[in-house]
Structure 1
Amino acid sequence: MAMCCTRAFAFEISGAISESVAPVTQIVTAQNASAPEHVATQNILAKNVLARNAPAQDTNAPLVEPVNAAATPAAISAAIPDATPVRPLFNREKTALFLWIVFIGAAVTVSVWLAKSGRPIKIRRIAALEAVDNAVGRATEMGRSILFVPGIQDMDNIQTVAGLTMLGRVAKTAAEYDATIQVPTCRSLVMEAARDTVRASYLSAGRADGFSADRITYITDDQFGYVANVVGSMVREKPATCFYMGCFYAESLIFSETGNAIGAIQIAGTAESSQLPFFVAACDYTLIGEEFFAASAYLSGEPAQLGTLRGQDIGKFAVGVLITLGVLAATILAVAPSSAVISALLYGLQKVLGG
């Protein structure tokens, strides 16, 4: 009986304590929910209490691991050498090219100096250029016009520039012979350049009053629209002489066949190798490749142009000789592989030619 009373009394005390602690717990919970900063403060205090109760550590042990001075970024950067590539002053792989440039430059310089000093420079005869005067004279005798087609490309094409150089010579001869020259173009800039060229030629011939800008016309940028206009003009007017000087493509055969059908003397010049067979087959004279570009030096006779042409020919001749030696050396080496001299010669030629 006494034990039961004691247990009942203990339960009453614990219940009272629980009832008294519950409001405090609710207050703390509410404070924790409303004040996160208070919770953080309690966490810090708890950590401090745990730190006091923890066993004492060895005071002689270092608190922080020592840093190796040799492993710092500054030390590592100082230990690694500078990896920036340094370009050499002279690229030995381009030695052969450098020697060729020096050789050709020296040949051109010496040739120009010899030409200006009065020494004659001989250039082989080009039949197409020799026939210019006869072709213009034939048009004058027949009382018919001269047709000059400067190609179908703009002024950024070197063949168009070479064609306008030929136009200057043809226009000057036409002015001296009092012949009419027609120049249809397919680029407006080419038209302006052609007008300036023909005007200068007439002025140099002393026939400034014979120049007419209306004979140098712009047709269209369209390739075959331009071809149709020029061919129609050829059929109607039947020019006695036709010059085709410049860059041509599919229209080369159309022009040359039409000119051949009307019985005109035709002189053509282009660097387009795919169109040369048509001009050679249908025209009376044809400037092939480099002959077309050498026409200005051939016709003008200026020392600077003649010297430049001769210097370039010297360089081409030297390249041809080296290529011939290389072919012979390779052939002999294929027949007699044990020839050390030929092997060395072939290796040297490959280096000189940039192989």
Structure 2
Amino acid sequence: MKNIFFIAVLIFIAPFVLTTGIFAQLPHFLIPPAEFKAFDTPNDAGETVSLTWPASPSDAPDVFYVVYIDKNKNGAFEKEAIRFKSNTCYRTGVPEIYGHKKSNENYHYVQIFPRKVFNAETIDTGQVYYFKLAMVSEDSKIVLDTVASARARGNWLHTKKANNFLIMITLSAIILYFIVHARRNPNLSLRKISGLDAVDEALGRATEMGKPVLFVHGLTGMGSISTIAAISILGRIARKIADYDANLKVVNNDPIVMSVSQEVVKESYLEAGRPDAYNPDNVFLVASEQFPYVAAVGGIMTRERPAANFFVGYFYAEALILAETGASTGAIQIAGTDAYTQLPFFITTCDYTLIGEELYAASAYLSREPMLMGTLRAQDVGKGILIIILILGTLLASFGLTFVTHLFEAF
């Protein structure tokens, strides 16, 4: 009876004793991990060695893991490779190696860069490294007897990037198929883009009125994809201008863009068989600064009153000023940009606006070249496939099946 009473008292007072800090000064009782393994890190250039071990019941914020490294199995293991809190660094941080298993939360994982640890020493290629693991707290330390070893080797292939490779092969096959299909079927259908259908109307109006056509570049250089798209559109417009015997003026704020534009327009006149009609003075540099450029272009609009204005490229705060000035002269205005912050201004003040990717599709739409047509059609099919996968993945994820989300991870 006395034993039962004594046990009951211990059970009753134990929580109070532990929480009041009576045993706070006692040393930690550290339980070492059951195993400790080292292996060459897969899919790398041979710079790292991976270490893993199961979590210990003693893991806590004030307990640290310390990994010691040596080049000899019977060495002193005095060089510290890494030290970290025992409640961090888990396998969940490297899904490219261990996947997305729930059990990864119960295993620690670290990568060691041996050459960085032995920074001042010469290390032979193929050196085997030996590791020991220790648990350390403020007042306790325990070192595992296990000695893990591994050699860092480079890998020729990154197997976890196989998904990226398969996606690339699939999209490339689709593109090649539609290019061949476009060559066999020149009348390949594309979605109607009103702004591009109106190009002939705008150029025809300028020809009938005997007024020039003004092509305005954006403010970015040749390194911008929107400028490259604008140059391509300029070539198509210049070819039609040459056929119609109209007058084309191209304004620029970048000397490199101006040089490229001159060559493109010249080539278009040559293709049309009218090299004598090309005037290099019609493709000119206006100003290199933003608002002087806008003021100069606005002056050209008000003085020469072109019948058609094309604003194509990447624009900033000058977009509304240019478009409003052109609208006040009564010109047909067609704009195209991927600057989403300026699209509202162009949509409001221009007759037609190419929105976002329509700017990139314009070259294929106007030229009807099989290479461009096939590529454009393949991109649309690729986007359709991705939309279907997104919808399917959303539905599966709603039921707790998330494996689809991991198929497109770029490790």
Question: In structure 2, what residue type is equivalent to 1:140?
Answer: T
TM-score by length of 1: 0.71
Tell me, yes or no, if structure 1 residue 201 matches structure 2 residue 268.
Answer: yes
**1:67-86 equivalence runs, <5 A:** 80=130, 83-86=150-153
Residues 178 and 111 of structure 1: CA distance in aligned 2, closer, same or farther (over 3 Å)? same
1:166 and 2:233 aligned: yes
Does residue 267 (structure 1) correspond to residue 334 (structure 2)? The answer is yes
Structure-to-structure mapping, 1:163-312, within 5 angstroms: 163-312=230-379
* 319-328 or 159-168: bigger deviation: 319-328
Counterpart for residue 353 of structure 1:
408
Aligned to 1:324: 391
* Equivalent in 102, 107, 111 of residue 178 of structure 2: 111
Corresponding position of 1:23: none
Task: Rate the CA distance shift 1:72–1:325 in 2: closer, same or farther, 3 A.
Answer: closer
* 8 A Cα contact 2:179 2:370, kept in partner: yes
CA distance in 2, matches of 1:276, 1:200: 31
Counterpart of 1:308 in structure 2: which amino acid? T
Letter in 2 for 1:311: A
**Partner Cα distance (1:115, 1:135) in 2:** 28
Q: In structure 2, what residue type is equivalent to 1:350? A: T
Is residue 128–residue 150 contact of structure 2 (8 Å, CA) maintained in 1?
A: no
1:117-161: CA deviations, max 9, x gaps?
A: 447532111111111111011011112111101211111111111
CA distance in 2, matches of 1:160, 1:212: 22
What is the TM-score with the length of structure 2 in the denominator?
Answer: 0.62
Separation (CA, whole Å) in 2 of partners of 1:248 and 1:168: 20
Say which of 130, 153, 171 aligns to 2:197: 130
Of the three residues 150, 157, 164, the one matched with 2:217 is: 150
Q: How many residues of Structure 1 are paired with residues of Structure 2 in the alignment? A: 271
Q: Does 1:98 align with 2:165?
A: yes
Cα 1:82–1:275 shift into 2, 3 Å = same
Q: Is the 8 A contact 1:154 1:160 kept in 2?
A: yes
Aligned: 1:121 with 2:176: no
Give secondary structure in 2 for the equivalent of 1:250: coil
The structure in which a higher percent of residues are strand is 2
SS of structure 2 residue aligned to 1:343: coil
Give, in whole Å, the separation in 1 of the partners of 2:243 and 2:182.
Answer: 28
CA distance change for structure 1 residues 281 and 94 in 2, over 3 Å: closer, same or farther? Answer: same
2:377 & 2:154 partners in 1: Cα distance?
37
Aligned to 1:29: none
Cα distance change, pair 343–178 in 1 and its aligned pair in 2 (3 A): same
What does residue range 35-50 of structure 1 map to in structure 2 within 5 Å? none
Distance across 1 between alignment mates of 2:128 and 2:311 = 71
Residues 147, 182 of structure 1: 8 Å contact kept: yes
Asked if 2 retains the 8 angstrom alpha-carbon contact of 1:103 and 1:315, the reply is no
Is the alpha carbon distance of 1:159 and 1:71 closer, same or farther for their aligned partners in structure 2, counting shifts above 3 Å?
Answer: closer
CA distance in 1: counterparts of 2:347 and 2:217, whole angstroms: 18
- Shift of residue 79 of structure 1? 9.0
Q: Give per-residue Cα distances to partners, 1:148-205, cap 9 Å, x unaligned.
A: 0121111111111111111111111112212111111001111111111111111222
8 Å Cα contact 1:108/1:312 also seen in 2: yes
Q: Could you tell me the percent identity over the aligned residues? A: 42
On the 8 A contact 2:178/2:378 being kept in 1, the answer is yes
What pairs with 1:10-49 in structure 2 (closer than 5 Å)?
none
The residue identity in structure 2 corresponding to 1:147 is L
Give per-residue Cα distances to partners, 1:47-83, cap 9 Å, x unaligned: xxxxxxxxxxxxxxxxxxxxxxx9689xxx8895874
Deviations 1:264-298 (A, max 9, x none): 10001111111111111111111111111011111
Distance 1:305 1:71 in 2: 66
Larger RCO (alpha carbons 8 Å, 6+ apart) = 1
Residues 215, 249 of structure 2: 8 Å contact kept: yes
Any unmatched runs of 5+ in structure 2? 1-72, 77-126, 131-147
Q: Which of 169-178 and 226-235 deviates more?
A: 169-178
Question: How far apart in 2 are the matches of 1:79 and 1:210?
Answer: 75
C-alpha RMSD of the superposition:
2.3
Matched residue SS, 1:268: strand
Q: Is the 8 A contact 1:96 1:351 kept in 2?
A: no
Between the aligned partners of 1:82 and 1:236, the Cα distance in structure 2 is 81
More helix per residue:
1
Q: Measure the CA separation in 2 of the matches of 1:116 and 1:162.
A: 23
Gaps of 5+ in 1: 1-69, 334-341
- Report the counterpart of residue 400 of structure 2 in structure 1: 343
